[in-house]
Structures are given as C-alpha cells and as structure tokens.
Amino acid sequence: MTDRADSRATSQTIRIDVLRGSPTSSDLAALIAVVPEAYREESSAATAEDAPGRSAWSLSQRSLRQPLRRDVGWGGFSG
C-alpha cells in the first residue's frame, strides 16, 4: 500500500459486536483481516447510474393536455 492508504487504513477503527458465542482471538483476527478487504472490493465495484431513467410511474402516465405554445402569445385576449 502507499503511505496515504496506510494512514487512511490505520485511522479507521473497526467495531465488532459479538452477539452470540465466544470467538477466540484468532477468530477475531481472521474476521478483521477478511471483512475490510471484502468491503473495499465491493465498494470499488459498486457504481451508480449516471442519469436516472424514467420511472415506471412516469412511463405509464398519459399527458393531460397538449404542451403550451409559447409562440402564440395573448393574441386572442381583448380584456
């Protein structure tokens, strides 16, 4: 690892709550060694869509009226 990655890795703390059983120190050491690496691999592979697509709701709705024509103006109004 690089120096920057080393400092980032050492500054993060890992919290483990044992809910059942009594793991040995070697069990906890194996867990601490495996889980962060698996998390790094998963987070580096995770990507979000750049632009969200249209939802099923917006695809199924019909338009209620024609779009407004902005070029016509108020020509028919003689208030």
Whole-model pTM? 0.38
d(CA 8, CA 10): 6
Domain segments of the chain as ranges: 1-42
For 72, list phi and psi in degrees, rounded to 5.
-75, -45
Most confident among 32-36, 45-49, 56-60, 65-69 (mean pLDDT)? 32-36
What is the tens place of the pLDDT at every residue in 2-41?
Answer: 555 555 555 567 677 889 999 999 998 898 888 888 888 8
Question: What is the reported pLDDT for 19?
Answer: 93
Residue 4: per-residue pLDDT: 56
1 pLDDT tier (thresholds 50, 70, 90): very low
